[in-house]
Amino acid sequence: MSDPVLVEVVRGGLGESRHRVAVAVVDATGSNVFAAGEVATPVFPRSAVKPLQALPLVESGAADRFKLSDEEIALCCASHSGEPAHVRGVERILAKAGFDASALACGTHWPASQSAAMALARSGAPSALHNNCSGKHAGFLCVARAMAIDPIGYCRPDHPVQQRVHAVLEDLAEVALPPECCAVDGCSVPTWALPLHNLALAFAKFGSGRGLAPARAAAAARLLVACVKEPWSMAGSGRFCTEIMQLLGAQALVKTGAEGVMCAALPALGLGIAIKCDDGAGRAAEVAMAAMLLRFLTLDDRQRAALGRFAGPKLHNWNGIEIGELRISGESGVPQPAQ
């Protein structure tokens, strides 16, 4: 079975591009609620699992020891845009644990925010603080300091911090992750390939606490509260994850990953969603996620209308002329979202 053409681009009434997408919606017992495509195929979740990777930050006592605020905890789960407040927030996290930017092993890139990048270009150059993963790395350094572990090499799979992260992922996803499932993420930490079904299961358990030991469930609940309370810290201005969580509040935690991966936890429903676009297209992952949220959540008219725009975004050219749209494909077998 191949993944269905779930999202299509329409221009002038004709299909122009087609995106094959796999989707898994799973409850905290591991039961399939909805599946499209090859959900048993392992995928690299990349940044989508940052909230799960942050569980040791709370479980180790580091978040309490360094008095991290909800905004700072959300930054440790973020793929941020490198806007000035993101950078200042990561600096605060590092300072609280006795580090500075030189301790970050994530590498350097320009801010994902175009306005932030242009402003920075006028005044200087980027540092590792501008890396979208710098908050996650600051969190790892906090864990190492709280556990009295040498932080050097904290990105290696054999480092105690990454071993704790690995154990968390195996616990929540209920799947063994042997060395052959491991690769190197863009920010140099391990990324572990796991089936899309198990990735959705991990988010169902994270969001609901069901199937987790009491201490782990409490840590997940704290992370969840911080992320939905501070959605701008999770991504940034104009970003899909930020706008969806601002719209839905505690109904959903949504987290994007690279190469067309996106995940969500729906805490009140006890569901997890995992999406993978075969061609790595983030735009298709956003349309598919919006369609799933429309399908499973109980929404008011304002929320439904706003989500409908994400599920069928209009396309405009450089003159502002509407030239087409993205939408759920009628050939996919997936119902068109009611808007």
Q: Which residue, 220, 187, 221, 202, is CA-closest to 272?
A: 202
The pLDDT, as a whole number, for residue 196 is: 98
Q: In the structure encoding, which two tokens stand for residue 184, read together?
A: 């190197």
Domain ranges of the chain: 5-328
5-328 CATH fold: Beta-lactamase (3.40.710)
Q: Which runs of E-coded beta strand occur in 134-214? A: 182-184, 190-192, 194-195
Residue pair 106/86 in contact (Cβ under 8 Å)? The answer is no
Query: b or e along 35-72 (b: 16 or more beta carbons within 10 Å of the residue's beta carbon)?
Result: bbbbbebbbbbbbbbbbbbbbbbbbbebbeebebbbbb
Over residues 163-170, mean pLDDT: 98
Q: Which residue, 224, 189, 215, is CA-closest to 73?
A: 224
Over residues 109-148, the pLDDT tens digits come to 999 999 999 999 999 999 999 999 999 999 999 999 999 9
pLDDT band at 227 (very low <50, low <70, confident <90, very high): very high
* 0.85 exceeded by pTM: yes
Residue pair 226/58 in contact (Cβ under 8 Å)? The answer is no
Whole-angstrom Cα distance, residue 134 to residue 324? 37
Q: Dmax of the chain from CA atoms?
A: 61
Percent of the chain, pLDDT > 90?
95
Supply angle C-alpha 186, 234, 170, rounded to 5. Answer: 60
Over residues 248-288, the pLDDT tens digits come to 999 999 999 999 999 999 999 999 999 999 999 999 999 99
The pLDDT, as a whole number, for residue 339 is: 47
CA distances from 319 to 257, 281, 289, 310, 315 (A): 31, 24, 29, 21, 11
Name residue 34's amino acid.
F
Supply angle C-alpha 281, 176, 258, rounded to 5. Answer: 15
Q: Does the structure show a pLDDT above 90 at 36? A: yes
Residue pair 134/90 in contact (Cβ under 8 Å)? The answer is yes
Phi–psi pair at 192, nearest 5 degrees: -110, 125
Which residue is associated with the tokens 């609901």? 208
Q: In the structure encoding, which two tokens stand for residue 304, read together?
A: 């439904």
Neighbours of 271 (CB within 10 A): 25
